[in-house]
Amino acid sequence: MNKKTVRDIDVSGKRVLVRVDFNVPLDDQQHITDDTRIVAALPTIRYLLDHGAAVILMSHLGRPKGQPVAAMRLAPIAIRLSELLKLPVETTADCIGPEAEQKAKALQAGQVLLLENLRFHKEEEKNDPEFARQLAALGDLYVNDAFGTAHRAHASTEGVTHTLPGVSGFLVEKEINFLGSALEHPQRPFVAIVGGAKVSDKIAVLERLISLADSILIGGGMANTFLKAQGYEIGDSLLEESKVDVARELITKAKEQGKQFVLPTDVVIADRFAADANHKVVAATEVPQGWRILDIGPATIQDFYAVLAKAQTIVWNGTLGVAEMPAFAKGTEATIQHLVERTQAGATTIIGGGDSAAAVEQAGAASKMSHVSTGGGASLEFLEGRILPGVAALQDK
């Protein structure tokens, strides 16, 4: 990565404003159900504290649409962060204004302050210059360690860099290095697994991966549109009718470039979209009317495994079935197991955020992969080859 990181600047005695991604899931009792994103930010926070900085953290949580929402306050996150750091973490009632300014100014080296939810102000997502200036005024230096929002030009990710010199934290550096090396200098064979519900969400990433990868494995709801493009009947399955021609073009493009483009040969179908629906395995060519495809079948799992068994670099984005329903999570679960085996055999395995990352976390397999991205949308846009505003805004080495 050609951007400066916290290693490249002197932070001693400085107030360092850090954009983190603490957008974590909470239950009805305001308890954090998954602290992965908080844990991911710890290396940068600890480095800054160890090097004599006062650390001011800022994050969003949920979608409060520009106004305070009690259930989206960051107090539970401050409590968890305090437990992890074994340090008190002070909070503010707002991310800007007199109280935030006073607490930021009084912060001493080795202390941590967590500002209130950035998105309680509509100016955050609008990248309002005055709001960005008020945030920037709280610190002497800026660090972006929120890869999950790096694809957005918001006040806290891009706007503040017009006032404060900005560098990358360790998490952003790790994300860019893993995803970048996988795309630019992959060990081959390079296999991409692409799932999820819609082809429309993945057209750009598929076009790029067809040019870069040796094999592309297709699953999830989006596979239905590709099956339809092959002339198969898919019953009542999810279908993007307007993208059938695009799917056909992508298959043709892969063939013309000599790439392996693997579609399901068998599927798990259900008589309705429900966890307790009647279900069975059929050939992908024999889906009856009134039934819908909800997972890849056992033969397809074996087809995928045959390709993955030789792979040296694997990038996966999107689940391969309705993974939140146990009966239709077999394809996703088997793929996780295959990737664990490949990692143990020395292959590089990268999980590109979003639902696939959540499935890997839930399976307890995150530590067994080479890298699990913390940014769904950001990793997808990076895979597409797009510039991420939150990274572009940082200082070059």
Q: Give 130-183 as a DSSP string.
A: HHHHHHHTT-SEEEE--GGGTTS--TTTTGGGGTS-EEE-HHHHHHHHHHHHHH
Identified catalytic residue from 126, 259, 368, 377: 377
Secondary element (H or E) of residue 370: none
Is residue 223 situated within a structural domain? yes
Residues 55 and 105 in one domain: yes
The answer to whether residues 271 and 182 belong to one domain is: yes
Q: Are residues 97 and 231 in the same domain?
A: no
What is the tens place of the pLDDT at every residue in 37-58? 999 999 999 999 999 999 999 9
Through-space distance between the first and last CA atoms of the chain, rounded to whole angstroms: 9
What is the residue type of 73? R
Backbone angles phi, psi at 139, to 5 degrees: -130, 175
CATH number, position 314: 3.40.50.1260
Beta bridge partners of 351: 316, 372
Position 107 in a domain: yes
Same domain? 249 vs 156: no
- Known active-site residue 65: no
Q: DSSP class of residue 231? A: T
What value does the mean pLDDT of the chain take?
94
CA 78/CA 64 separation, integer angstroms: 19
pLDDT for 56: 98
* Catalytic residue chosen out of the listed positions 3, 14, 15, 37: 37
Residue 116 lies inside a defined structural domain of this protein: yes
Cα gap 140→183, rounded to integer Å? 35
Judge whether 168 and 397 are in contact, CB under 8 Å.
no
Residue 178 is predicted with a pLDDT of 85
- Say which residues have a Cβ less than 8 Å from residue 248's Cβ, sequence separation at least 6: 229
pTM value > 0.75: yes
Query: Do 288 and 160 sit in the same domain of this protein?
Result: no
Same-domain pairing of 347 and 247: yes
122 three-class SS: helix
Q: Which of 170, 204, 228 is the last residue of a domain?
A: 170
Mark whether 189 and 321 lie in a shared domain: yes
pLDDT at 202: 87
Residues 71 and 97 in one domain: yes
Quote the tokens at residue 97.
């204004």
Q: Is residue 389 part of a domain?
A: no
Which tokens is 321 given? 């079935």
Please give the average per-residue pLDDT across 221-241, as a whole number. Answer: 95
Query: Is 321 part of any domain?
Result: yes
Residue 370 confidence (pLDDT) above 90: yes
Handedness of CA 86, 72, 323, 358 (dihedral sign): negative
Q: Is the pLDDT of residue 336 over 80?
A: yes
**Residues whose CB falls within 8 Å of the CB of residue 15, separated by 6 or more in sequence, listed in order:** 53, 54, 56, 104, 107, 138, 139, 140, 141
**Is 80 exceeded by the pLDDT of residue 382?**
yes
Q: How many domains does the chain have?
A: 2
User: What pLDDT is stored for residue 79 in this prediction?
Assistant: 97
Active site residue 14: no
Active site residue 166: no
Q: What is the pLDDT of residues 95-106, one digit of tens each?
A: 999 999 999 999
CA neighbor of 317 nearest in space, from 366, 251, 243, 380: 380
Cα gap 169→167, rounded to integer Å: 7
Question: Considering 170, 200, 235, which residue would you say is the last residue of a domain?
Answer: 170
In total, the chain counts a number of residues equal to: 397
**Predicted confidence (pLDDT) at residue 353 exceeds the cutoff of 80:** no
Looking at the chain, the whole-number percentage of residues with pLDDT higher than 90 is 86
35 in any annotated domain: yes
pLDDT band at 149 (very low <50, low <70, confident <90, very high): very high
Catalytic choice (198, 208, 253, 386): 198
Q: Are residues 332 and 227 in the same domain?
A: yes
Does residue 354 have an active-site annotation? yes
Are 91 and 197 contained in the same domain? no
Question: What value, to the nearest 5°, has the Cα angle with vertex 237 and ends 232 and 242?
Answer: 75
What's the token pair of residue 372? 């699990």
Return the DSSP state at 367: G
Instruction: For residue 232, give its domain range.
Output: 177-384
- The stretch 179-199 carries a mean pLDDT of 89
pLDDT at position 329 over 80: yes
- Say what the pLDDT of residue 369 is: 96
**Looking at 170, 195, 216, which one is the last position of a domain?**
170
Do 195 and 318 share a structural domain? yes
Provide the percentage of residues in the chain whose pLDDT is more than 70. Answer: 99
Between 176 and 293, residue with greater pLDDT: 293
Of 159, 195, 221, 354, the active-site residue reads: 354
| Per-residue pLDDT band at 200 (split at 50, 70, 90) | confident
Give the CA count within 13 Å in the CB-facing half-sphere of 300.
28
Does any domain span residue 113?
yes
- Is there a domain that residue 391 lies in? no
Q: What's the CA angle centered on 341, arms 338 and 346, to 5 degrees?
A: 125
| C-alpha–C-alpha distance, residues 225 and 239, integer Å | 5
Verify that 223 and 118 share a domain, yes or no.
no
Pairing outcome for strands 112-114 and 313-317: unpaired
